[in-house]
Amino acid sequence: METKSAAGQPESLKGKRPVWMRILLWVGAAFLLVNAFGVALVFVSVPGQDAGMVVRLALVGAVVALPLWKWHGMNVLRTWGNPATASFTRRDDPATGGVVFDVRPARAARMPALPLFAAGGFLLLMALLVGARSTGAFIGLYIVATVCIGVGCSFVLPGAHDRKPVKVSVSGHGVQSGDTGVPLNSVTDLRVMHGGLVVDPDPLMPGPGGVPIASIAGRHMGRRQAARGYAVTIRADGESQSSVLAGGLTEDCARALAADLGKAIESERAKRATAHATVGVPS
């Protein structure tokens, strides 16, 4: 079994949050739901409103729901309060006789996604407010809001599928992480992959007026997000595709996790070999 690092394109333990943070999250979610319901109720109850309002509400709901559920944006929200650096801890597992690695991913970079999402949400609300009087105003605001949300998603959604806390178990039965399981004797190698936002490594080329400040800032913030997009993958013997054990990691954490997983796998293999040798020795 080999432990490697590679650059390429490549699940669940709840993070323990303070009580005040959980209360704040629930209050914020309730506030958004109540206000969204209130806006919808006002619009559908106004005399003279037709099916156009239903279409506008559906469009606004779609631009919010698609990133959250279709493209795994909920994982970004669930880890929003995590530190900027990923971490893991190792502990013994009495149930299996092996070890468990509790992995906590790094949060997605908050800039520039947070102000872009705030602007997009505000514009969507304004689109609903003015859309009843002017379809053109609704379309214009909706397009700008979609662009803001889309740009913000382009920063935080790459690699979001695997940005979640996981338990990686190594025992005599094999390696298990969420729905990913590989028998111990079938583990061929572990790799550190980059599966998040990819930033062009080439330097920015200045134009007639120099390099735009927006391009410099975007490149800087993109690199901050890219640094939190590493993953540890595992490949089974006879299979060409690797499976992700843990994602949303910083590079140092990913390399350390891969190294410790490799040691744990070798330790479990040594245990099994010793047990088999002991059984085979005649008394």
DSSP state of 64: H
3-state secondary structure of 194: strand
**3-state secondary structure at position 166:** strand
Q: Encoding tokens for residue 58?
A: 């559906």
* 178 Rama class: left (phi>0) / alpha (psi -120 to 50) / beta: left
Contact of 93 with 172, CB cutoff 8 Å: no
Ramachandran class of 105: left when φ > 0, alpha when ψ lies in -120 to 50, beta otherwise = beta
> Contact at 8 Å (CB) between 264 and 99?
yes
CA distance 199 to 221: 10
Q: Quote the pLDDT of residue 14.
A: 37
- Tell me which residues of the chain have a pLDDT lower than 70: 1-51, 196-222, 276, 279-283
Residues in the chain: 283
In the prediction, which pLDDT does 210 show? Answer: 53
Number of CB atoms found within 10 A of residue 113's CB: 21
Quick one: how many helices (H) and strands (E) in the chain? 7, 9
What pLDDT is recorded for position 250? 92
80: left (phi over 0), alpha (psi -120 to 50) or beta: alpha
Q: Which helix (H) or strand (E) holds 148?
A: helix 135-156
Domains of the chain, by residue range, sit at: 1-15+89-108+163-201+216-283, 18-80+109-161
DSSP-assigned letter for residue 46: S
Q: How far apart are CA 152 and CA 42, in angstroms?
A: 29
Q: Which residue has the tokens 């998040």?
A: 196
Rounded CA-CA distance 218/215 in Å is: 5
pLDDT of residue 198: 56
SS3 12: coil
144: β partners: none
What's the CATH fold of domain 1-15+89-108+163-201+216-283? Answer: PH-domain like (2.30.29)
- Predicted confidence at residue 172, as pLDDT, reads 86
- What is the SS3 assignment for 14? coil
Residue 183 host element (H or E): strand 180-183
Q: Is the pTM here over 0.75, yes or no? A: no
Angle CA 161–16–244, to nearest 5: 25
Q: Which residue has the tokens 């323990």?
A: 16
pLDDT given for residue 19 in this prediction: 57
